[in-house]
Amino acid sequence: MSFDLGKPPEGPPPYQPWTSRHLKIVERAIVVAWQQLLASSEFVTWAASAVERDITVKLQARLIQLLNTGEVHGFTAAAFSPPIRGQEVDDYSGKDKEKRPDLTFLRLAARPVSNHHAQFYECKVIGRGRTVDDYHNDGIMRFVDGRYAWGMAHAGMIAYVSPPPPLMASTALESCWTKARQKLRLAGLPASPLKLDQTASHPIAISVHSRGFRLSNLRPPGDITLRHLWLPTLP
């Protein structure tokens, strides 16, 4: 008698990147969920002073509704599991086991199955005393130093931008990084200029960052591409 043990896992990390189609489906769902939230004047008033955590709770709940309705093409419960908020994962070394990315999206067909084979987002308020420097130091650096998304070639940053809004994401980030280079604060800075995804449904700035650590299997993680999605807190 023989037993079929199934297919072996499809390779250790770093994992195969998602297609641009899957990334854009998630981004489109985030934008639609946000637009629906902004349609409520009560939400707009509340979001103007709410903390990042509570805004993300509302966004997660609306994304789960979209999974159920299927109104965003491709963003369905047949393709994605419900987005997870603040799930505890380990860092690249496996020593720190309480890292909490703000939002995690898992594709049901992604192989190998792993809670690290996902699209991770870190969410930050910009405005109300929080700056683009904070966005870099407390957000982007979590992907660069291997706290989050160490097994992936891509991840995302979401900004809840309070009025008065800064410049567009690409301009604001380039300005921040130019000043950092002038002051020789080089940690986590991209080696090449930002790009814009002209095919996305919402402005997406794209930056590529090198990572200097090694995975537990001694493989280098490679660069990480961050997709920056900035959402206004006013319609």
CA atoms within 13 A of residue 100's CA, in its CB half-sphere: 5
% pLDDT > 90, the chain? 80
Which pLDDT belongs to residue 191? Answer: 85
Which pLDDT belongs to residue 51? Answer: 95
| Other residues' Cβ atoms within 10 Å of the Cβ of residue 108 | 11
Q: Which residue stretches of the chain have pLDDT < 50?
A: 1-9
How many Å apart are CA 211 and CA 184, to the nearest integer?
18
Which pLDDT belongs to residue 167? Answer: 65
